[in-house]
Structure 1
Amino acid sequence: MWEDSGFELYEGITSEYYTKEIDDEIGALYRRRLDMREALDSLKSKYYNLEEAVAKLLQGLADNALKRWVARLEYITGPLRNMGIADLKAELQEEYGVVEGARNPLGGSLYY
C-alpha cells in the first residue's frame, strides 16, 4: 500500500542528509544567525521564568537568586565574551594545523 501511494520517495531521506555539508549550503549564514537568536531567546526565557518563580520569595531572597543566576551566566560565558578574532583565529589554526606563510590546503591562511 505504501509503495502504491508513492511513499517510497521518503525511504532514502535520513538525518545525515540534513547535517551533511550544511555550512556550505546557500543560506547557512542566516541559519547560524537564527541559531544564535534562538540560543539568546532561550537564555532570556530561562531568566524570565526564574524571575517569575522567585517573585513570591522575600525581596532579598529573590534578588539574591537572580544575582546568582546572572553571575553564573557571566562566569560561563566570560571566556566566550572575551574572545577576540585573534584568539579564534589562533584556535582554528591550531585545530586545522594551519601555519602562517606555509603552503597547505588552506593556503597558509584562514582567510580567502
Structure 2
Amino acid sequence: MWEDSGFERYEGITSEYYTKEIDGEIGAPYRRRLDVKEALDSLKSKYYDLEEVVAELPLDLADNALKRWVARLEYITGPLRNMGIADLKAELQAEYGVVEGARNPLGGSLHY
C-alpha cells in the first residue's frame, strides 16, 4: 500500500537537505526578499524607537538627534544606494571572470 501511494518520494528528504539545499530551491528568491524586508523593517523600528525616546526632549535637541541618526544611516548605506545596476554587473563580471562577447546573464562568457 505504501509503495502505491508515492511515499517513496520523501525518502531522500532529510534535515540535511533543508539546511544545505534550500537556497537552490524555487522559494529562495522569495526568502531573499523576506530577508531584505526584515532588514528594512528593523531599521524602521529603530527609527521609531528613537522617535519615542527623543519625544521628551526639547524640540531642537530631538530634531538634532534624529538628523544625526539619519545622517549615519545615509553614510552607511550611501555606497549601496548609489550603486547602479551597471556598477553591480561590472563588479560581478570582475569577481566571476566574465569575458565580454559570449552571452550569459552577466553579458559575457564565464571562465573559471
TM-score by length of 1: 0.73
Q: Distance in 1 between matches of 2:21 and 2:15?
A: 15
Aligned residues: percent identity? 83
2:40 corresponds to which residue?
40
Gaps of 5+ in 1: 1-11
Alpha carbons of structure 1 residues 13 and 23: separation in structure 2 relative to 1, 3 Å: closer
Q: Distance in 2 between matches of 1:109 and 1:69?
A: 44
> Over aligned residue pairs, what C-alpha RMSD do you find?
2.6
User: What letter is aligned with 1:43?
Assistant: L
Alpha carbons of structure 1 residues 107 and 36: separation in structure 2 relative to 1, 3 Å: closer
Gaps of 5+ in 2: 1-13
List 4+ stretches of structure 1 deviating above 6 A.
none
The count of residues paired between Structure 1 and Structure 2 equals 96
Which structure dedicates a bigger proportion of its chain to helix?
2
User: What letter is aligned with 1:77?
Assistant: T
Q: Distance in 1 between matches of 2:55 and 2:107?
A: 57
Which structure dedicates a bigger proportion of its chain to strand?
2
**1:22-61 aligned within 5 A:** 22-61=22-61
TM-score by length of 2: 0.73
